[in-house]
Structures are given as C-alpha cells and as structure tokens.
C-alpha cells in the first residue's frame, strides 16, 4: 500500500445523487476515466445488494484494464448473531473477486442500538469477525466508520474502540466518516489528532458537504495525519454531495505539495471531469474550483489590466496544471486591457491599436446597455471583434426575408406545429426553403439549414444543444425586450452566441445566424460566391 491513498467512491456513494442513474456500461466507462486520472482505488459498488452492482463486478473482471487503480467492493459487516463465513452478503463480497473490500460499520452507539438493533458489544464482534474473515480469505480490508464524528462526540470511548477493534482484526485503513456532513474543519482536526494519539491505526477521511466544508474538512484531516482520502468526482453524492475529489487532489498537490497523482494526469483533470459529466448527464458546474469554465475567467477591467502585466496577479495557480486555461470575459465592465487580452486569447494581436480597442470597448458597452451579454457568448464577441479588425462583417449569405406561421393543430389535442419560410441568397443563387418544427425557433433552424444545405453542407454537423431565453424588462410584459442565448456543437467544440430584440424570434434569428457563421469560420470555410 502506498504512503497516501486517493480513494474514489463515485460509482457507489456518488451514484446516490438525486436524478443520477448509472447503467453498468456507464460505470465501466467512468472507472476507465478515474483510472486515467490516477486515483489509487475505485469503489465499484455493493455486490449482492443489487443486481446492477453484481453485474458490474462480473463484467469488470474481463472488460476493465486498470493501469493505476485497484478496484474495491463495498459492503457491510455481518449481521448480528451470525458468522461472517455464513453471511450471504459477506460471501458476495468474496464473489466480486476484488483485491480490496471496504466495509461500513457503525461507530455511533445510538445507530448501533436503534438502526442495527443490537448491542454495542455485538457490533464490535461483527466488525472483528467480518474483518478477520475477509483478511484470512486474502483480501485487503478498509473500514468506513460511519457517523464517526457524531459518534465520537456522544461516546468517544466507544468510537475509539471501533477503531481499535477494526485495526486489531486486520483492517489496513479506518476511514472516519462525517456521514451527516455537519462538521467544520477545526473539529475534524481535533478529532483526527485525538484518534491518532490513542491508536496505531492508519486513518482515512470521508466527508459529505452539508456545511459546504467537505473539501476543507478532508484537507484538515490530512493535515492532522490522515493518509487516505475519499471523495467523488465533481462532488457527486446524496443531498449536497461528497467531497469533490478533483478539488481535493488539486489542493493536495498544488497547495500542500503532496504528489498524490502524477502531474501529467492532473493536467487531464478538466477533460476527465467533463467526460464523466457527459456519462452521468449532469451538466458541469461552471464555478467548480480548478476545472469549472469560470474558474479562471476574469471580467473586471481592473483585473484585466493586472493580468496583462502578469497572470499570477489575479490567479491562485497556473490553470494549465489542471488542463484549464485563463479566459477574459467581455462585458460592460471591460476596459481596453480586457479587450486586448480577449483578442490575444482569440488569436488577434491588438497591441498598439488604441483606436481599435476604444471602438470595440465603446461598442460592447453600448450593446450591453441594450441587453446583450458577451461574457456568456464568446462566439458572438469574436465575430464582433473580427468585424472591427477587418472593417466588414463576415457574411456567408444575405437574408432577404423570413416568416413563421404556427398552426394550432386540427386533431383535437395535437400539439401546435410551426412552419418557417426563409428567403436568402447564398453561393450566387436565390434560395427559398421551408422547415417545420415543434416551435418557431426550431422551425426557423430547420428552414435555414435547408436553405443553406447545398452552399454549406458543413452545417449538417452542427447541432443546437441549448436554448435560453431571458426577459430583460419584465415590467413591459409581452412587449418586453428578449435576450436569447444559443449553444451549438459540431461534436468537437461548443460555442455560444447571443441575440437581443423586442421579438423573441428576431432575437433567436440573430443568435442562430451568428452560430452558423462562427461554426463555418472555425471550420475554415470561406464565403462561397
């Protein structure tokens, strides 16, 4: 066993998150990503407790080729007044054929008496019997001391006895669990220090985030002497989640100087975090530390002026160390330094162009005053900047007109159907095209694609993946100005565009045109005559 353990429980504890439902194939895919990150242990689930987890371990034996991590099976100590060797649930842990078994055991006397409905003495016997049985069968055993911190507050002598009993029976790690997530860092520091002072056990930490302190509590435990830390990728988990393992590992490595994963693997943190988000179908949290889209995004003009001199002035670490990058956000707070930095980020050298920078700043501020937002629509800003640099907008087609009709339907409860007609000129010829959709914007999207399909077949690879509407002056009711944000992907990258108008369809048209224009520009497609 290494000097420090990074133990991931995404596939078991993380999977308890509300709305998260993982198939066996999902779990196998996530396990591969976790191995790429370099975690030491992957808790695969609870074999015998449900068919899905049992199937996962069966398939893992032939379908998982782990290079860095060791797979662990999770389960509980034997039932009261039985033998571990005769308990079907304990036998299921052996059948999983993992080198490591993690057992959960009660360390809180009220839970022992009211949840397990047994005596404190029998609970200790359950721990000793199960741990020693599994170790005799050749398994490395870790023990999660459930509700440890609350149990220690109620009856410290008994909580310590749980640790003693597990260690003496052969458990290699006893993880102290803040199961209810109610602890704060000073308390965690004190308890871990006291437990280490009374035992010779190797301690770990398992924190939930109900006070918003799961990461801080995990770090406090490590600083106090714990050498095994548990968590989940992206902080998935029940209620408010578990300690975010990406943040924990980044802090351990970049702030505390503990190399717990190989540096080249930590540089994949953003990619792997987002890849797992794709599998779980949980949208990445933009403000997630280290790997969030906004983690190194700067908006205020004062920040940009300093960043231009030295990025370290307003960044706590180099974003490249976790695979992220610095972003400059353009908004009504922007000054010339912000625009210059953003231009550099986009590939435009604006050094020594004070008049151009002033024009762009003025235009951005005017548009933002009208309701536009460019910090959420980088693609629209790049098109604006390109227009100012080149002196002309990028035009792939010229729109003559568009119109939309929505039919309420003729078959009783049938949903209304929208039909859009677009007239435009592209690649030297006039085109009229019609599209149907389940709403006016969807119909407009279909009609525009149809009209441009011959001139720009590349558009077939573009997919609109998000559509957001914001009413800017709600006091005007249905006559309010509307802002539309569209997110598009070509399967390789994602970009955002914005449109603002008194009419929601007009705003959508503007954002849609920008989306197609930007996508074609990134593909290197030139306007076709």
pLDDT in tens, 182-211: 999 999 999 999 999 999 899 999 999 999
How many C-beta atoms lie closer than 10 Å to residue 365's C-beta? 14
Range 423-436 average pLDDT: 93
Judge whether 290 lies within some domain: no
Tell whether the model's pLDDT for residue 407 goes beyond 60.
Answer: yes
Task: Mark whether 264 and 347 lie in a shared domain.
Answer: no
265-275: average pLDDT: 87
Cross-strand partners of 175? 144, 204
Q: Is residue 529 part of a domain?
A: no
Determine contact, residues 194/162, Cβ cutoff 8 Å.
Answer: no
Identify any residues that bridge with 106 across adjacent strands, giving them in sequence order. Answer: 146
CA dist 177 and 377 (Å) reads 42
Label residues 269-293 b or e (16+ Cβ within 10 Å = b).
Answer: bbbbbebbbebbeeeebeebbbbbb
Residue 495 and residue 363 share a domain: no
Q: How many CA atoms lie within 13 A of 33 on its CB side?
A: 25
pLDDT at position 279: 84
Residue 288 lies in a domain: no
Same domain for 348 and 438, yes or no, is no
At CA 200, angle to CA 194 and CA 205, rounded to 5? 60
Alpha-carbon distance 388 to 370, whole Å? 19
Indicate the average pLDDT of the chain: 88
> Residue 387 falls within a domain, yes or no?
no
Q: Is residue 386 part of a domain?
A: no
The pLDDT value given to residue 6: 96
Q: For residue 461, tell me if it sits in a domain.
A: yes
Residue 502: its pLDDT value, please?
A: 86
The per-residue pLDDT for range 288-308, each reduced to its tens digit, is 999 887 777 766 554 555 555
Residue 365: what are its φ and ψ, rounded to 5°?
-65, -40
Report yes or no: 139 and 172 within 8 Å, Cβ to Cβ: no
Q: Please, which pLDDT band fits residue 96 given cuts at 50, 70 and 90?
A: very high
Among 223, 222, 204, 206, which residue's Cα sits nearest to residue 214?
206
Q: How many residues does the chain have?
A: 529
Same domain, yes or no: 24 and 65: yes
Residue 377 has a pLDDT of 78
Determine the pLDDT at residue 71: 97
**Higher per-residue confidence, 297 vs 418:** 418
Looking at residue 330, its pLDDT comes to: 57
d(CA 415, CA 443): 14
- CA atoms of 47 and 526, how far apart (whole Å): 57
Residues 61 and 209 in one domain: yes
Return the structure tokens found at 461: 């690879």
**pLDDT-based confidence at residue 396 (cuts at 50, 70, 90):** very high
pLDDT of residue 328: 63
216 and 356 fall within a common domain: no
Pick from 62, 61, 131: nearest CA to 96: 61
- Helix/strand/coil (H, E, C) string of 81-142? CCCHHHCHHHHHHHHCCCCEEEEEEECCHHHHHHCCCCCHHHHHHHHHHHHHHHHHCCCEEE
**Cα separation, 379 vs 494, whole angstroms:** 10
State mean pLDDT over 87-106: 96
Answer whether 470's CB lies under 8 Å from 476's CB. no
Question: N- to C-terminal Cα distance for the chain?
Answer: 67
Q: What residue has token string 């914001």? A: 470
Q: How confident is the model at residue 311 (pLDDT cuts 50, 70, 90)?
A: low
> Do 103 and 54 have their domain in common?
yes
> Percent of the chain at pLDDT above 70?
91
Same domain, 355 and 209: no
Spatial separation of the C-alpha atoms in residues 510 and 499, rounded to whole Å: 5
Indicate whether 356 belongs to any domain: yes
Tokens of 206: 């398992």
Total structural domains in the chain? 3
Q: What are phi and psi of 432, to 5 degrees?
A: -120, 125
SS3 at position 436 = strand
The DSSP secondary-structure symbol of 119 reads: -
Cβ contacts of 151 within 8 Å, gap of 6 or more: 106, 107, 108, 109, 110, 111, 145, 158, 159, 162
Span of 152-161, 188-197, 356-365, 460-469 with lowest mean pLDDT = 356-365
Helix (H, G, I), strand (E, B) or coil at 27: helix
In this structure, the answer to whether residues 304 and 268 fall within a common structural domain is: no
150 lies in the same domain as 14: yes
Question: Is 44 in the same domain as 167?
Answer: yes
Taking the C-alpha atoms of residue 135 and residue 186, their distance in angstroms, rounded to an integer, is 35
- Say whether both 193 and 310 belong to one domain: no
Q: Is a pLDDT exceeding 90 seen at residue 138?
A: yes
**What average pLDDT does this structure show over 426-439?**
91
What pLDDT digit, counting tens, does each position of 477-509 carry?
555 688 888 889 888 888 889 899 888 899 999
What's the pLDDT at 217?
98
pLDDT value at residue 338: 66
> What CATH number is associated with residue 200?
3.20.20.70
Residue 378 lies in a domain: no
Q: What is the CATH number of the domain that holds 505?
A: 3.30.160.270
The whole domain housing 487 covers: 398-522
Which of helix, strand or coil describes residue 9?
A: coil
């Amino acid at each position: 066993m290494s000097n420090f353990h990074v133990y991931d429980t995404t596939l078991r504890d993380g999977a308890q998150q509300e709305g998260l439902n993982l198939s066996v194939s999902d779990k196998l895919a996530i396990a591969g990503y976790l191995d790429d990150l370099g975690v030491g242990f992957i808790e695969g689930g609870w074999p015998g407790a449900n068919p899905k987890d049992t199937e996962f371990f069966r398939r893992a034996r032939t379908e998982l080729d782990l290079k860095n991590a060791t797979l662990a099976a999770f389960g509980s100590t034997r039932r009261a007044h039985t033998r571990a060797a005769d308990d079907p649930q304990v036998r299921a842990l052996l059948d999983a054929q993992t080198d490591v078994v993690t057992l959960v055991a009660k360390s809180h006397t009220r839970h022992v008496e009211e949840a397990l409905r047994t005596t404190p003495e029998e609970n200790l016997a359950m721990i000793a019997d199960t741990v020693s049985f599994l170790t005799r069968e050749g398994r490395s055993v870790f023990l999660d001391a459930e509700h440890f911190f609350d149990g220690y507050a109620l009856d410290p002598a008994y909580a310590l006895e749980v640790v003693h009993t597990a260690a003496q029976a052969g458990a290699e790690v006893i993880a102290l669990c803040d199961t209810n997530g109610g602890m704060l860092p000073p308390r965690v520091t004190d308890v871990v220090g006291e437990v280490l002072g009374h035992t010779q056990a190797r301690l770990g930490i398992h924190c939930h985030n109900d006070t918003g302190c799961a990461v801080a509590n995990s770090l406090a435990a490590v600083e106090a002497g714990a050498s095994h830390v548990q968590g989940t990728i992206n902080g998935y988990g029940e209620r408010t989640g578990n300690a975010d393992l990406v943040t924990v590992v980044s802090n351990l490595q970049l702030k505390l100087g503990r190399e717990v994963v190989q540096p080249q693997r930590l540089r994949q943190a953003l990619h792997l975090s987002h890849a797992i988000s794709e599998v779980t179908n949980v949208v990445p949290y933009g403000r997630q530390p280290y790997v969030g889209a906004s983690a190194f995004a700067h908006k205020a003009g004062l920040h940009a002026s300093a960043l231009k001199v030295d990025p370290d002035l307003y960044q706590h670490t180099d974003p490249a160390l976790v695979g992220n990058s610095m972003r400059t956000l353009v908004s009504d707070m922007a000054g010339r330094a912000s625009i210059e930095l953003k231009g550099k980020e986009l590939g435009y050298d604006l050094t020594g162009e004070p008049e151009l920078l002033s024009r762009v700043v003025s235009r951005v501020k005017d548009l933002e005053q009208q309701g536009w937002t460019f910090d959420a629509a980088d693609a629209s800003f790049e098109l604006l900047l390109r227009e100012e640099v080149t002196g002309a907008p990028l035009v792939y087609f010229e729109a003559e007109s568009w119109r939309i009709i929505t039919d309420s339907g003729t078959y009783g409860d049938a949903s209304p159907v929208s039909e859009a007609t677009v007239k435009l000129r592209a690649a030297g010829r006039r085109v009229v095209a019609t599209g149907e959709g389940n709403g006016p914007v969807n119909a407009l999207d279909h009609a525009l694609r149809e009209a441009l399909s011959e001139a720009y077949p590349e558009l077939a690879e573009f997919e609109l993946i998000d559509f957001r509407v914001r009413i800017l002056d709600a006091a005007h009711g249905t006559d309010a100005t509307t802002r539309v944000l569209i997110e598009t992907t070509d399967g390789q990258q994602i970009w955002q565009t914005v449109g603002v108008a008194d009419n929601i369809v007009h705003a959508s048209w503007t954002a849609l045109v920008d989306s197609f224009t930007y996508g074609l520009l990134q593909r290197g497609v030139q306007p076709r005559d």
